[in-house]
Amino acid sequence: MVKKEYFIFVNGDKVMVSKEVYLAYWQHTNRENYLERLDRQNKLVFFSDVDHDGNFVDNLADKSVDVEKLVETKEAIEALNTALSELNDEEREIINALYFREETTRVVANRFGLPQTNLIRRRNKILKKLKEVLENI
């Protein structure tokens, strides 16, 4: 019976090895390939993949996000929350119902036991109050 020879390549050179070394080498190589396939399937990105010029931070920057706009929006939301805190409970409930829960003026007016026109006047008065508070912030 002819004895099978096992080879692996080390730095481009073909090296004869035992069956145990050959199997261990290929087990390790196959495991690495499997993990790389998983990384690609899960869209995992390594810094070494994007660090071509030694400055990976610039390579990772998302140019589609307008950071200034995000900051402006956050500040506007904080100002709105501050202005809303200036309202009494009934005024805040009216604004929450109309603008945050998007209920109709008819539904909100019925809940408060008001005619719809009175609720609309009250809403306009509350909005004017919010505008004044926001201008002073």
DSSP states of 118-131:
HHHHHHHHHHHHHH
- The Cα–Cα gap between 120 and 114 comes to 10
CATH architecture of 67-135: Orthogonal Bundle (1.10)
How confident is the prediction along the chain (137 residues), in pLDDT tens digits per residue? 678 888 888 888 888 889 898 899 989 999 999 988 888 888 776 666 665 665 655 555 667 778 888 899 999 999 999 999 999 999 999 999 999 999 999 999 999 999 999 999 999 999 999 999 999 88
Q: In this structure, how many other beta carbons lie within 10 angstroms of the beta carbon of residue 83?
A: 19
